[in-house]
Structure 1
Amino acid sequence: MDVRDLQRENIKNLSPYSTARDEFKGQASVYLDANENSFGSPLPADYNRYPDPLQLDLKDAISKIKGVPIENTFLGNGSDEAIDLLFRAFCNPGKDNVIILPPTYGMYEVSANINDVEVRKVNLTPDFQLDLENIAETIDANTKIIFICSPNNPTGNSLNRGDIETILANFKGLVVIDEAYINFAKQKTFIQELTEYANLVILQTFSKAWGLAALRLGMAFSSTHVIDILNKVKPPYNINQATQDLALAALQNIQQVNEWIKITVNERERLANALSRLEKVRKVYPSDANFILVQIDHAHWTYHQLVDQGIIVRDRSKVVLCDDCLRITIGTTEENNQLLTALEKL
């Protein structure tokens, strides 16, 4: 398949905005082309110049860690920007549809609604796995994207790899695998499959394991055709220079990140075991993420009792298949102990 055939007709014919920095190659000593402030910025670092619109230095550093070439990498203002651009580039408003698999990350549906794209929902099975038969029955000629979150949010589990490969091999649209929590999982990333499936898009983020949620930096990996289309429709300077600089510095501290991942996984197991011993807890679901889904008596009431004590978790009790469930992020040892003490006293 040629994924370029999936893009909207107006995107095929789009002439992208050409930035001042796109119109010449190499370095210069005098920049009088972009109407910047030539005197500097009122900060210790000079931020008066526009940043690299393609973030090539940062992508090069990421490629050394991820093993993905620069031309197969897109950086967005959070993964949410990549999600939104996929709708804008590939889905015709009022005509095309996408499939999401509840319970799942809420921004897929929000972005679809913003872009006037029909959302078709195929619930996960009771054990939070893909319902392949119903997915196949829901696909039609106007289905452009299937969003798969693995490890899944809010359930925390990884989806069966063979089931995902079945969709990749048989669906003629884009398959977006959101791997925001992959650093905490035993299951390996789908990055190795990028060369096998032209329709595969992988989302990852600096917001979770990397501890850079405030920077809003997301990654998308795909075939060069998909990446070229995303670069064509993105805002010209979508990643600011401060974010690029800080992310480059963070990539030098991968040992610290790996240590935090180990601690998080250990705390996840300790917290899951402790929660399972509480009388009010009915079920602690297995997790491959940095959070745990817990079914608990009177979840909504419990959530508000914790809020009153300054402890914030996520109430998922109204989400499909998550009756009476709270989603609890893995905190520090002290924070987890504080949570357990509060729950024991309720």
Structure 2
Amino acid sequence: MSPFNLETCARANILALEPYRCARDDYKDDGTNILLDANENAYGPPLTPGTVSAASNGVGAEIDFLGLHRYPDPHQRDLKQLLCNLRNKHSHTSKSITPDNLFVGVGSDEAIDALLRCFCVPGKDRILVCPPTYGMYSVSAQVNDVGLVKVPLLPAPTFALDVANVLEALSTENNIKMVYLCTPGNPTGTVLAKEDVKPILEHPTWNGILVLDEAYVDFAPDGTSLAEWVAEWPNLVVMQTLSKGFGMAGIRLGAAFAAPPVARLLNSLKAPYNISSPTSALASYVVSEQGLATVEANKAKLVAQRARLLAELPKIQGVGRLRGGTDSNFLLYEMLNAEGKPDNVTALAVYETLAEDKSVVVRFRGKEHGCFGCLRITVGTEEEVTRFLAAIEQALREVNGSKTEAAGDEAKRETAANDVVA
């Protein structure tokens, strides 16, 4: 019999790992659900019937499906140049970024993990995060046996960076190698102020990397992205993705903009052919002039539906305050109990009722720092938003109505018991 013992063979931090979970672990896409939980672009990719066979690489070439027996380009410089063209707005610097500033990977998650493996010594180094924030930073840190320092954002609704405490931690805590900041934040939807980011980059004693995760930046005002700022700061990395604003979550294409020496390190440790040929071709089409026209049209529709949700949700009894910003394709709202107070039990019950009885899947975020009683709602299409608004009104009525009835029944029982005693 083999002496293999998983408990002693596997790394202890992996055995203790709490994996990143999403709503679709519980409520999968069965073709009938409205999925407003994962912040995808509800209008989908900027592709039309026939585009897949005619999607270009930016210069008119078709996707060569017959060439799939060949390994893809390991360097992806043409795609990188298109991504640089997209971000060279000169809103923050007169300098331009080039393909030498870029790492492309399988979603932003590959960049998150690659940075940890690149800069953090397992069992020694740590990263700093500012909750509430994207859960994969801490998951990847645990996978890599890297410690975690938490400096919460300032309270809602601003969810601004607590600059003083971040700087204090970098001055006094040992072995912090990276700071991960999400902007616009997930689940906050708030853009972190550029003037709050700069003091971290200028810290006089901290020798580390500041990582800005701009997954949702394409829903923020023009000029928000700081990607081109990596031309000014050797200790800045800006991550982006085609999953959100570009509606291409299925191809898993992420990018990390960085100073050339940092980008070289990331490109050195990646797998040789980490970006497939179809992914590269589709991504190149999406950021071409033709693809971008459809991206912008779809984005305008989502912004209109975001405005609609902001106008209609406060009118629904049981919907509380907006607890974050409006710079993303989702909104964070409180759910109120029968007494009109934010409540996690109510929020969780509404989340479950929406998914199980109304086939509308959102995301319960009430256990995250500063998000008590909150649901995160992805902006959908016009039809999806119409169905969601009706569903959440019904769900709140059912949840709070059943609680009111239960409380009334309990009061009647107590009265009856008192009468018997009397």
Shift of 1:60: 2.3
Contact between 1:275 and 1:284, CA under 8 Å: does it hold in 2?
no
Aligned partner (choices 228, 236, 244) of residue 280 of structure 2: 244
Aligned partner (choices 34, 50, 53) of residue 71 of structure 2: 50
After superposition, the CA RMSD in angstroms is 1.3
CA–CA distance in 1 between the matches of 2:330 and 2:66?
37
CA–CA distance in 2 between the matches of 1:70 and 1:192?
12
TM-score (norm: length of structure 1): 0.85
2:328 corresponds to 1:289: yes
Return the index of the structure with the highest Cα Rg: 2
Structure 1 residues 130-279: aligned runs within 5 Å: 130-139=161-170, 140-170=173-203, 171-186=206-221, 188-252=224-288, 253-279=291-317
Aligned partner (choices 111, 123, 135) of residue 82 of structure 1: 111
- In the alignment, residue 378 of structure 2 is paired with which amino acid? T
Which aligned runs of 4 or more in structure 1 are off by greater than 4 angstroms? none
- In the alignment, residue 296 of structure 1 is paired with which amino acid? M
Between the two proteins, the alignment pairs up a number of residues equal to 304
2:378 corresponds to 1:329: yes
Q: Alpha-carbon deviations, 1:256-298, whole Å to 9, x = none?
A: 1011111211211111111111110111233100000011121
Q: Alpha-carbon deviations, 1:137-177, whole Å to 9, x = none?
A: 22234110000101000011111221111111114310000
CA–CA distance in 1 between the matches of 2:125 and 2:192?
26
Contact between 1:122 and 1:134, CA under 8 Å: does it hold in 2?
yes
Match of residue 50 from structure 2: none
CA–CA distance in 1 between the matches of 2:76 and 2:106?
12
Contact between 1:209 and 1:261, CA under 8 Å: does it hold in 2?
yes
Match of residue 59 from structure 1: 80
CA–CA distance in 2 between the matches of 1:69 and 1:178?
19
Contact between 2:212 and 2:239, CA under 8 Å: does it hold in 1?
yes
Q: Which has the higher contact order (CA 8 A, sep 6+)?
A: 2
- In the alignment, residue 303 of structure 1 is paired with which amino acid? Y
CA–CA distance in 1 between the matches of 2:252 and 2:228?
25
CA–CA distance in 1 between the matches of 2:310 and 2:383?
15
Q: Alpha-carbon deviations, 1:213-233, whole Å to 9, x = none?
A: 000000100100000000111
CA–CA distance in 1 between the matches of 2:370 and 2:178?
23
- Identical counterparts, % of pairs: 41
- In the alignment, residue 333 of structure 2 is paired with which amino acid? V
Structure 1 residues 292-331: aligned runs within 5 Å: 292-297=331-336, 298-308=346-356, 309-331=358-380
CA–CA distance in 2 between the matches of 1:152 and 1:173?
21
- In the alignment, residue 262 of structure 1 is paired with which amino acid? A
CA–CA distance in 1 between the matches of 2:296 and 2:318?
34
Shift of 1:44: 4.9
TM-score (norm: length of structure 2): 0.70
Contact between 1:316 and 1:325, CA under 8 Å: does it hold in 2?
yes
CA–CA distance in 2 between the matches of 1:50 and 1:255?
31
CA–CA distance in 2 between the matches of 1:265 and 1:169?
35
Aligned partner (choices 106, 122, 127) of residue 98 of structure 1: 127
CA–CA distance in 1 between the matches of 2:328 and 2:160?
16
Q: Alpha-carbon deviations, 1:187-219, whole Å to 9, x = none?
A: 611123222211000000000011110000001
CA–CA distance in 1 between the matches of 2:285 and 2:154?
42
Q: Per the alignment, in what secondary structure is the counterpart of residue 231 of structure 1?
A: helix
- In the alignment, residue 169 of structure 2 is paired with which amino acid? T
Q: Per the alignment, in what secondary structure is the counterpart of residue 219 of structure 1?
A: strand
Q: Alpha-carbon deviations, 1:98-138, whole Å to 9, x = none?
A: 10000000000000000000011111111311112221222
Contact between 2:178 and 2:210, CA under 8 Å: does it hold in 1?
yes
CA–CA distance in 1 between the matches of 2:331 and 2:177?
32
Moved more, 194-203 or 181-190: 181-190
